[in-house]
């Protein structure tokens, strides 16, 4: 009898679940199968004219992009924005691209600083709306080779305002890692002297992509032309490289403060990094340095995008114009350690060599980097004779690698 009641609850639950899942699951808007060649992003309208600010804005940003003085009193470009536009800003920091992807499209946020590994997914899922470039006051100050790229535009429609970009560099402790490394082999070679002290950025796109970049140089026979366009053989090779690396990895970092702490305290000595980590560690008098290895690197280019259901579109455009104007760009670029999209900022940086260090105006350098993009079954390098591994499999594989 007791079992009968238990069975009753279970049956009820199962029926409820089936009913709920029938009416509940998030509808996929438009793209039913694979990528851009077959499907189009949903037709959404960009704002036609800029009206007065709505008085509030919700910003979803990477840590370090929307500083309001609470981290360092001298680093604040949010309060001046609020004063100038009247849009009271609520900033939330997202720790991964996946988290950003999940939070957009609901109207909870107005703008997001999307990296290339989530921006295209957001576009195709209808989570972000196209932008009206005539309303973006700084749009034309961004070099043409950063606009209308495959991570921030589709079929000639622009979906965001470029913010800045940077490469995934190789960080190392100058006192413990000698000679200074010039190649990624120091983290991938099983005989590396720094095994057990290696770190890697915790992201499927970057982790597997970086492995593929390394294989492009060390195993050219695999024929990898784009690290985000991997067929089964190439993908398996990249995963095998990562599995071999896994036992030597001390930790995978996702928050830059954790990476900084690990480097400074010596639990990691070498590995993938962002320049801001190096800047902060150096400010703490820690002996660290970064280098772009000879094989090349993966890189990120961030774009401010506007939520399809944004409740404050005018403030959103006001923010996008604010954060990309030359003086604010100079501040952000120096704080975070990236190349500003608006090259007019180069004249305004405190360190006059900033833009040179980050190659902000160097188109050749930019084109050598492999900017994050979303892997799809339609190969990004244009191959039609094979299908490439899509992003959902990348996340599964990355989980599996990290399990050891």
Partner 1 sequence: MSSRSVRWFAAAAMTFGLAFVYIPLAVILINSFNVSTVFAWPPRGFTTRWWSSAIGNDSIRQAVVTSVQVGLIATAAALVMGTLLAFALGRYTFFGRHTVSLLVVLPIALPGIVTALAFRTAFRTILGIELSIWTVAVAHATFCMVVVYNNVVARLRRMGTSPEEASMDLGANTFTTFRLVTFPLLRGALLAGALLAFGLSFDEIVVTLFTAPPGVTTLPIWIFQNLSRPNQAPVVNVVAAVLVVASVIPIYLSQRLAGDTTAGGRV
Partner 2 sequence: MAVVTQEPVDSGAVHRLSAVLFRRTRLRLAALLALPMFWLVAVYLASLFALLATAFLSVDEFTNAVVRKFTLQNFHDVFSDPAYFEATVRTVAIAASVTVACTVLGLPMAFFMAKVAPRRWQNLLVALVVTPLWASYLVKVYAWQAMVQPDTGVLDWLLRPFGLSGPGYGAVATAMTLSYLWLPYMILPVYAGLQRLPDSLVDASGDLGAKPWRTIRSVVLPLVYPSIVAGSVFTFSLSLGDYITVQIVGGQTQMIGNIVYQNYTGNLPFAAAIATIPVVIMVVYLTVVRRTGALDNL
CB atoms within 10 A of CB 223: 12
Radius of gyration of the chain (CA): 22
Which of 53, 93, 271 shows the shortest CA–CA distance to 173?
Answer: 271
Among 219, 225, 246, 368, binds partner 2 (CB under 8 A): 246
Q: Which does 292 bind (CB under 5 to 8 A by kind): partner 1, partner 2, none?
A: none
**Contact window for partner 2 (CB under 8 A) among 51-59, 72-80, 227-235, 385-393:** 385-393
Q: Which is nearer to partner 2, 21 or 74 (CB)?
A: 21
CB of 261 to partner 1, least distance (A): 4
Which of 166, 73, 155, 157 shows the shortest CA–CA distance to 113?
Answer: 166
Instruction: Assess 18 for contact with partner 1 (CB under 8 A).
Output: no
Q: Which is nearer to partner 1, 200 or 295 (CB)?
A: 200
By CB under 8 A, the residues from 259 to 278 that bind partner 1 are 260-261, 264-265
Among 5, 26, 49, 385, binds partner 2 (CB under 8 A): 26
- Cβ atoms of 368 and 295 closer than 8 Å: no
Please name the helix (run of DSSP H) or strand (run of DSSP E) that holds residue 162, with its range, or none: strand 161-167
Q: Which does 250 bind (CB under 5 to 8 A by kind): partner 2, partner 1, none?
A: partner 2
- x-or-dash pattern for partner 1, window 71-100, by CB under 8 A? xx-----------------x-xx-x-----
CB of 249 to partner 2, least distance (A): 5
Rounded to an integer, what distance in angstroms lies between the CA atom of residue 194 and that of residue 185? 11
CB of 312 to partner 1, least distance (A): 13
The DSSP-derived string for 200-232 is: EE--HHHHHHHHHHHHHHH-GGG--SSTT---H
Q: Which does 108 bind (CB under 5 to 8 A by kind): partner 2, partner 1, none?
A: partner 1
Q: Which does 90 bind (CB under 5 to 8 A by kind): partner 2, partner 1, none?
A: partner 1
**Contact window for partner 1 (CB under 8 A) among 33-41, 179-187, 255-263, 388-396:** 255-263
CA quadruple 275, 277, 278, 284: dihedral sign: positive
- x-or-dash pattern for partner 1, window 42-71, by CB under 8 A? ----------------x-x--x------xx
Rounded to an integer, what distance in angstroms lies between the CA atom of residue 333 and that of residue 26? 37
By CB under 8 A, the residues from 207 to 236 that bind partner 1 are none
Which of 39, 115, 58 shows the shortest CA–CA distance to 376?
Answer: 39
Rounded to an integer, what distance in angstroms lies between the CA atom of residue 199 and that of residue 170? 10
Bridge partners of residue 60, in order along the sequence: 92, 112
Instruction: Assess 192 for contact with partner 2 (CB under 8 A).
Output: no
Cβ neighbourhood burial of 103 (10 Å; 0-12, 13-18, 19+): middle
Among 1, 4, 24, 181, binds partner 2 (CB under 8 A): 24
Q: Which is nearer to partner 2, 236 or 362 (CB)?
A: 236
Instruction: Assess 28 for contact with partner 2 (CB under 8 A).
Output: yes
By CB under 8 A, the residues from 290 to 319 that bind partner 2 are none
Instruction: Assess 403 for contact with partner 1 (CB under 8 A).
Output: no
Rounded to an integer, what distance in angstroms lies between the CA atom of residue 398 and that of residue 203? 8
Q: Which is nearer to partner 1, 34 or 88 (CB)?
A: 88
Instruction: Assess 403 for contact with partner 2 (CB under 8 A).
Output: yes
Among 193, 196, 223, 255, binds partner 1 (CB under 8 A): 255
- Cβ atoms of 99 and 114 closer than 8 Å: no
356 Cβ contact list (under 8 Å, min separation 6) = none
Q: Which is nearer to partner 1, 175 or 363 (CB)?
A: 175
CA distances from 84 to 55, 81, 90, 111, 379 (A): 11, 5, 16, 18, 45
By CB under 8 A, the residues from 114 to 133 that bind partner 1 are none
Among 52, 102, 351, 356, binds partner 2 (CB under 8 A): 102
CB of 64 to partner 1, least distance (A): 9
State the Cα angle at 29 between 25 and 35, rounded to 5°. Answer: 115
- Cβ atoms of 110 and 316 closer than 8 Å: yes
What does the binding site for partner 1 look like in residue numbers (CB under 8 A)?
Answer: 1-2, 4-6, 8-9, 20, 23-26, 58, 60, 63, 70-72, 90, 92-93, 95, 106, 108-109, 255-258, 260-261, 264-265, 280, 284
């Amino acid at each position: 009898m007791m079992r009968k009641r238990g069975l009753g609850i279970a049956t009820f639950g199962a029926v409820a679940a089936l009913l709920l899942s029938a009416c509940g699951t998030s509808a996929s808007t438009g793209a039913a199968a694979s990528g851009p060649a077959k499907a189009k992003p949903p037709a959404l309208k960009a704002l036609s004219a800029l009206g007065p600010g709505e008085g509030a804005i919700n910003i979803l940003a990477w840590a370090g992009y929307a500083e309001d003085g609470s981290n360092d009193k001298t680093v604040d470009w949010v309060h001046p924005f609020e004063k100038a536009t009247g849009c009271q800003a609520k900033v939330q920091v997202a720790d991964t691209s996946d988290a950003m992807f999940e939070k957009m499209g609901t109207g909870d946020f107005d703008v997001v600083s999307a990296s290339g590994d989530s921006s295209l997914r957001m576009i195709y899922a209808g989570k972000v709306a196209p932008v009206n470039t005539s309303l973006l006051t700084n749009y034309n100050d961004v070099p043409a080779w950063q606009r209308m790229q495959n991570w921030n535009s589709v079929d000639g429609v622009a979906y965001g305002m470029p913010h800045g970009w940077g490469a995934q560099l190789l960080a190392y402790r100058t006192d413990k890692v000698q000679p200074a490394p010039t190649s990624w082999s120091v983290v991938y070679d099983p005989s590396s002297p720094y095994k057990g002290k290696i770190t890697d950025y915790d992201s499927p796109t970057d982790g597997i992509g970086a492995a593929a970049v390394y294989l492009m140089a060390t195993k050219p026979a695999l024929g990898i032309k784009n690290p985000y366009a991997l067929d089964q053989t190439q993908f398996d090779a990249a995963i095998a490289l990562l599995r071999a690396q896994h036992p030597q990895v001390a930790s995978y970092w996702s928050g830059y403060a954790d990476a900084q702490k690990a480097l400074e305290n010596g639990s990691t000595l070498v590995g993938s990094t962002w320049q801001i980590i190096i800047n902060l560690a150096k400010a703490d008098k820690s002996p660290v340095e970064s280098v772009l290895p000879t094989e090349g690197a993966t890189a990120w280019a961030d774009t401010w995008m506007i939520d399809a259901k944004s409740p404050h579109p005018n403030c959103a455009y006001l923010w996008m114009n604010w954060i990309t104007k030359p003086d604010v760009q100079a501040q952000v670029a120096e704080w975070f350690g990236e190349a500003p999209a608006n090259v007019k900022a180069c004249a305004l940086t405190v360190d006059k060599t900033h833009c040179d260090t980050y190659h902000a105006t160097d188109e050749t350098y930019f084109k050598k980097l492999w900017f994050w993009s979303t892997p799809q079954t339609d190969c990004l390098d244009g191959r039609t004779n094979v299908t490439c591994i899509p992003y959902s499999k990348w996340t599964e594989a990355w989980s599996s690698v990290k399990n050891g």
